[in-house]
């Protein structure tokens, strides 16, 4: 009996470590939606300006993150120091990624790739829905992006986007938490990586 119990615990451990944590305890439901939308950087009239705090391997640094939709499916992302000097300047146009500028110390393939993947999730406005799940108060949309998946967590009643979890088939890679008063502009955004010690906190500039 004890052995059986041990085996079943062991198998639970094995199976649960293989299955994706994101959808654990959620029930899959039928759906009619074709796409799920991310409204937070979708208004071309707005200059999206955020104070950024970055913690990477216990080192802290800050700056200003500026995102602007310059045309349909076309975003410019600039990160500067508090003093205004540019650290990087990227552009996403459809699937084309352009590196306009990266400061020498940051211009490493490994770093640029992480930033590229993170910001791609951030500015992508619409994704095709593959599956839908439900929890007590959220509706979760599974979408595909390359060989990864993005799960969009929307509040069931307000339909506000609250979280995006980027995963491989078995593991959560990046979690993006949003806080928004009106559902149109994110007041705070927190990007957390699970496999590397990297956390980016963004706070919208207050109106002066």
Instruction: For 6, list phi and psi in degrees, rounded to 5.
Output: -65, -40
208 to 46, 131, 204: CA distances (angstroms): 15, 43, 12
User: Which of 68, 142 has the CB closer to other proteins?
Assistant: 68
Give the dihedral sign, CA 18/24/27/32.
negative
Q: Least distance to other proteins from the beta carbon of 205, Å?
A: 5
User: Which of 5, 71 has the CB closer to other proteins?
Assistant: 71
Residue of 196, 132, 121, 205 whose CA lies nearest to 163:
121
Q: Least distance to other proteins from the beta carbon of 47, Å?
A: 5
User: Which of 76, 120 has the CB closer to other proteins?
Assistant: 76
Q: Least distance to other proteins from the beta carbon of 93, Å?
A: 13
Phi/psi region, residue 135 (left: phi>0; alpha: psi -120 to 50; beta: rest), is beta
User: Which of 74, 145 has the CB closer to other proteins?
Assistant: 74
**Ordered alpha helix ranges (H), the chain:** 2-18, 109-123
User: Which of 134, 203 has the CB closer to other proteins?
Assistant: 203
Q: Least distance to other proteins from the beta carbon of 100, Å?
A: 8
Q: Least distance to other proteins from the beta carbon of 6, Å?
A: 46
**Rounded to a whole number, what is the largest CA-CA distance in the chain?**
68
Output the six-digit token pair for 58: 């216990």
* Residues at the interface with other proteins (CB under 8 A): 45, 47, 49, 51, 53, 59-62, 64, 66, 68, 70, 76, 78, 80, 82-86, 89, 100-101, 103-104, 203, 205-206, 208
User: CB–CB of 50/44 below 8 Å?
Assistant: no
């Amino acid at each position: 009996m004890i052995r059986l119990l041990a085996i079943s615990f062991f198998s639970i451990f094995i199976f649960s470590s293989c299955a994706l944590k994101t959808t654990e305890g959620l029930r899959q439901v039928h759906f009619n939606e074709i796409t799920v939308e991310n409204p937070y950087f979708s208004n071309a009239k707005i200059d999206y300006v955020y104070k950024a705090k970055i913690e990477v391997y216990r080192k802290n640094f800050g700056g200003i993150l500026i995102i602007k939709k310059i045309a349909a499916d076309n975003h410019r992302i600039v990160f500067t120091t508090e003093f205004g000097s540019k650290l990087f300047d990227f552009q996403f146009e459809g699937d084309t990624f352009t590196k306009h500028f990266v400061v020498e110390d940051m211009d490493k393939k490994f770093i640029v790739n992480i930033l590229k993947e993170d910001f791609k999730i951030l500015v992508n406005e619409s994704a095709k829905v593959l599956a839908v799940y439900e929890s007590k108060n959220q509706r979760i949309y599974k979408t595909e992006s390359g060989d990864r998946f993005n799960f969009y967590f929307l509040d069931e009643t307000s339909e506000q986007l609250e979280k995006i979890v980027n995963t491989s088939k078995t593991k959560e890679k990046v979690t993006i938490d949003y806080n928004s008063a009106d559902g149109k502009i994110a007041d705070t955004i927190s990007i957390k990586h699970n496999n590397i010690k990297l956390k980016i906190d963004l706070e919208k500039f207050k109106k002066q």
